[in-house]
Amino acid sequence: MTSPPPLGSSPATHATETVAIIGAGSIGIAWAVVFASAGVRVQMFETHEGARLIALSEVESMLTDLFEAGLLEEPVDQVMPRVTMSETLEAAVEHADFVQECVVEDLDVKRGLFAELDRLTDRSVVLASSTSTIIASLFAEDLPGRERCLVVHPANPPYFLRVAEVVPAPFTSTAAVAAATDLLTRVRITPVVLHREIEGFVFNRLQGAVLREAYCLVRDGVITPNDVDTLVREGLGLRWAVIGPFTTSELNTRGGIRRHAEVIGPVYARIGIERGTDDPWTGETIEHVAGQIERRLPHATWEENVRERDRAMIRLASLLQHFENPLAAPSHAAASPL
Ligand SMILES: NC(=O)c1ccc[n+]([C@@H]2O[C@H](COP(=O)([O-])OP(=O)(O)OC[C@H]3O[C@@H](n4cnc5c(N)ncnc54)[C@H](O)[C@@H]3O)[C@@H](O)[C@H]2O)c1
């Protein structure tokens, strides 16, 4: 694959003022909420008449819930006028400087839509896909304006999980990546830029690793599905709200990541083989991970880092103490083994 120099006027020369959102399903609606509540104008387009008719009221009801929870800076009636629904794709992309595609997860549909978007918009407009799994090389490689195409994969819902993966293809210009990360930062979504395209990106690969193991454990009669959910919801998930898996390895083990890998690495390697994956962590990778994490959390101040973690977890526990989760099934619910 060759990477010709980007043509046309370069994206990211000015801040995005108007985003066109194509597809008004759950992700399109949620993006509209994120962009509009951060002051960005939103022009939506949706092919399904039923979805088109209810989209704006769905945006409004989500904004109302956020306002009532104290999570919106302005009243809903000041945010809503920024969001409009267009009758045609052409009208939705007119005057937009950024397009966020949110249609069904179907390669042919995305390929056709990106061809149309490439034809309808100026080369300075960034064309981003919300796709959860499909790399931009598969739907944009043959387009004349492919240099402004990339993936901006949100976590669902993006007004709650404020992080998104930015995945450029080899042909995506650095200006398009910069425009995407600038826009995300402005709307308070943390951008995570991947170094290369990979199916499923990283968010869903991590989620997939947990799900693969969970399905095996349920299949083998080790645990019920509801108890898996409880362990993640009350355990891993809460911990990961404060620190990620590498920082957990660093702070949960005296001796840090290297010691953790020494003690637990062989156990995980055996579990991998049990599941058909013989891919143990190498010394080189462990060194790389430890070095990167220690730049942020020097091992010399390990005791203080652990105290900081504990203080952060106590603060989160205090925020959550009156939170009653209506979706948390009791652990004995539906507990029939397979
Ligand atoms: N649901 C999630 O958890 C999640 C998370 C991150 C990313 N995504 C990705 O976001 C995208 C949208 O997912 P969703 O869950 O909102 O799907 P959805 O089915 O709820 O909505 C898709 C919408 O796109 C519309 N549509 C289809 N073709 C169209 C076209 N050519 N022009 C305009 N509208 C069109 C459909 O009518 C539908 O309303 C997918 O690529 C998905 O992989 C989904």
Q: Is the pLDDT of residue 9 over 70?
A: no
From 45, 103, 132, the mutation candidate for ligand 1 (largest count of ligand atoms within 8 A of CB) is: 103
Across 304-330, average pLDDT: 93
Please check whether residue 75 is in contact with residue 105, taking contact to mean a CB–CB distance below 8 angstroms: no
Q: Is the pLDDT of residue 337 over 80?
A: no
The pLDDT value recorded for residue 44 is: 98
Closest atom, ligand 1, to C-alpha of 45: 33
Closest atom, ligand 1, to C-alpha of 112: 31
DSSP 176-216: HHHHHHHHHHHTT-EEEE-SS--TTTTHHHHHHHHHHHHHH
The pLDDT value recorded for residue 179 is: 97
C-alpha 284 to ligand 1 mean position (Å):
40
Atom 3 (ligand 1) nearest CA: 156
Q: Is the pLDDT of residue 12 over 80?
A: no
C-alpha 51 to ligand 1 mean position (Å):
11
CA distance 241 to 243: 6
CA distance 92 to 115: 16
Q: Is the pLDDT of residue 259 over 90?
A: yes
- Tokens representing 104 are 């069904």
Closest atom, ligand 1, to C-alpha of 30: 16
Closest atom, ligand 1, to C-alpha of 103: 24
- Residues flanking ligand 1, CB < 6 Å: 22-28, 45-48, 51, 102-105, 109, 113, 130-132, 153-154, 156
From 102, 199, 202, the mutation candidate for ligand 1 (largest count of ligand atoms within 8 A of CB) is: 102
From 88, 104, 113, 135, the mutation candidate for ligand 1 (largest count of ligand atoms within 8 A of CB) is: 104
Q: Is the pLDDT of residue 290 over 50?
A: yes
C-alpha 50 to ligand 1 mean position (Å):
14
Could you read off the pLDDT of 133-181 as tens digits, one per residue? 999 999 999 999 999 999 999 999 999 999 999 999 999 999 999 999 9
CA distance 116 to 120: 6
Closest atom, ligand 1, to C-alpha of 48: 37
Q: Is the pLDDT of residue 190 over 60?
A: yes
C-alpha 26 to ligand 1 mean position (Å):
7
The pLDDT value recorded for residue 40 is: 97
C-alpha 151 to ligand 1 mean position (Å):
14
Residue 335 pairs in a beta bridge with: none
Could you read off the pLDDT of 193-245 as tens digits, one per residue? 999 999 999 999 999 999 999 999 999 999 999 999 999 999 999 999 999 99
Atom 4 (ligand 1) nearest CA: 156
Closest atom, ligand 1, to C-alpha of 26: 16
Please check whether residue 136 is in contact with residue 169, taking contact to mean a CB–CB distance below 8 angstroms: yes
The pLDDT value recorded for residue 10 is: 53
Residues whose CB falls within 8 Å of the CB of residue 1, separated by 6 or more in sequence, listed in order: 137, 141, 170, 171
C-alpha 309 to ligand 1 mean position (Å):
38
Q: Is the pLDDT of residue 314 over 70?
A: yes
The pLDDT value recorded for residue 332 is: 56
User: Rounded mean pLDDT of the chain?
Assistant: 93
Q: Is the pLDDT of residue 333 over 60?
A: no
The pLDDT value recorded for residue 334 is: 53
The pLDDT value recorded for residue 22 is: 98
Could you read off the pLDDT of 116-128 as tens digits, one per residue? 999 999 999 999 9
Could you read off the pLDDT of 77-101 as tens digits, one per residue? 999 999 999 999 999 999 999 999 9
Spatial CA neighbour of 210 closest among 240, 249, 175, 172: 240
The pLDDT value recorded for residue 331 is: 54
Atom 41 (ligand 1) nearest CA: 131
CA distance 132 to 153: 6
Atom 5 (ligand 1) nearest CA: 156
Q: Is the pLDDT of residue 3 over 70?
A: no
The pLDDT value recorded for residue 15 is: 78
C-alpha 105 to ligand 1 mean position (Å):
6
Read off the pTM.
0.93
The pLDDT value recorded for residue 145 is: 98
